[in-house]
Amino acid sequence: MSPIITRKMDAFRTFYDFIQLKEHIKHFGAQLTVGLVPTMGALHQGHIALVERAAIENDIVVVTIFVNPKQFNNSSDLKKYPRTIETDIALLSRFNNVVVCIPEVNDVYPENDSYSPIKLGVLDEVLEGRYRPGHFPGVAHVVHNLFSFIEPTSAYFGLKDYQQFAVINEMVKQTNLEVKVEGCNTVRDKNGLALSSRNFNLNEEQINDALIIIDTLRFIKNKLDQFEIDDVLEQAKVFFNKGKLTLEYLDIVDAQSFKRVTHLNQKSVCCIAAFCGEVRLIDNILL
């Protein structure tokens, strides 16, 4: 990080469009490294961990807050998505080298939007892709546009959304955008529940019930040295069903291609999605 830039970058700022944001960044010179943390707001410690890492590794960090309508395949899910903009800004205001950008839909998707959809193949056919049609094309589109407008050096994503991370890497590969995509470990509460903006919609009892997710993932990890994958998954479903959640999927896939694996001879990830009441939660564990 350049010491000259650090000295100048003292004020926390919020921008509401990309033009002003870009002017602000340009002001500090071409050598500046820009870390981008794209979010949909409702920030929690998982997001803050991304911002902290981005702030260490870059001269300036841009946190975008944009609830992307294109990635919701269900309009009631979009409506229910938690929005806590004032708390979000307050949480970020303690950082010196962070600016927030809260763009409008027309900024993110302008009339002359040049994005052409990428081919996601298997990534969009299994797990999240299968159960949320249109979700990953919407994620790829918004992240592409944020990368093109903001031109970050690096961008930071939580690995709780492991499949999303794979989708974003694929989008960058296919569109030749020059940005380093960094994955950051899932942040969990003291009992192991993965932090998620959706947890804001859970009551205390549900937060407790939701622990069956991490318990099931750990159950699987522990059993895999004794049993075959398919047996372990069957046992894990029985274990999971003793809890109160409703399982949507539970599977073990290759961590890059997301193709199903039958033997653990490659880097694999066990992914789960389940409903806790009306709230859909996802998690994963690397094997």
Choose, by CB under 6 A, the member of 38, 46, 152, 243 that binds ligand PAF. 38
- 128: contact with ligand PAF by CB under 6 A: no
Q: Are 196 and 284 in contact (CB under 8 A)?
A: no
Q: How far is the CB of 178 from ligand PAF (least distance, A)?
A: 19
Choose, by CB under 6 A, the member of 59, 161, 170, 283 that binds ligand PAF. 161
Q: How far is the CB of 30 from ligand PAF (least distance, A)?
A: 27
Residues 55-114 touching ligand PAF, rule: CB under 6 A, are: 68, 71
Pairing of strands 268-276, 279-286: antiparallel
Choose, by CB under 6 A, the member of 40, 100, 184, 224 that binds ligand PAF. 40
DSSP 276: E
Choose, by CB under 6 A, the member of 143, 217, 253, 272 that binds ligand PAF. 143
Amino acid at 80: K
- 186: contact with ligand PAF by CB under 6 A: no
- Phi/psi at 37 (nearest 5 deg)? -120, 95
The sign of the dihedral angle between the CA atoms of 163, 76, 49, 153 is positive
In whole angstroms, give the CA distance from residue 189 to residue 35.
26
Amino acid at 177: L
In whole angstroms, give the CA distance from residue 84 to residue 117.
31
Stretch that binds ligand PAF, among 27-35, 80-88, 114-122, 139-147 (CB under 6 A): 139-147
Q: State the residues that interact with ligand PAF by CB under 6 A.
A: 38-40, 68, 71, 139, 142-143, 161, 164
